[in-house]
Amino acid sequence: MKLLVFVLNDEEYLEQVLSAYIEAGVAGATILDSEGMGRFLAYEVPLFAGFKDFMKGNRPYNKTILSVIREQDTIEDLKKLVDEIVGGLDKPGTGIMFTLPIDWASGLVPEEEEI
């Protein structure tokens, strides 16, 4: 099992991304409001107020989506679908997606009940 973390930089794509999760067979996800370090420093820490010039055109807030994924194939399918939606995660400013190993989990939807 893996924890899939996806930080989506453009909130406008959220509905499409969640549809892609369903299409790829992801049974559930947790969505968090988030913001990048640069935005926080530029707007909340007076010492770094000069960063505001660098922030122009950047999205100030993100959505972070957390999912427990059982199959590697699901991650690969989802990555392809997300790339189609956001124009490719290799493009700056679209987001970041990564996985972490899960050694133990409780409270997950049983596999036979997944989408």
Q: What is the DSSP string of 72-95?
A: HHHHHHHHHHHHHHHT-TTSTTSE
Examine the pLDDT at 75 and tell me if it is beyond 70: yes
Q: What integer pLDDT is reported at residue 46 of this predicted model? A: 59
Q: pTM for this structure?
A: 0.81
- CA–CA dist 64, 31 (Å, integer): 6
- Domains of the chain are 2-35+61-104 (3.30.70.120)
pLDDT band at 92 (very low <50, low <70, confident <90, very high): confident
pLDDT band at 108 (very low <50, low <70, confident <90, very high): confident
Query: Which of the 8 DSSP states describes residue 109?
Result: P
- CA–CA dist 115, 66 (Å, integer): 17
Q: What pLDDT, in 10s, does the model give residues 26-43?
A: 989 999 999 877 656 665
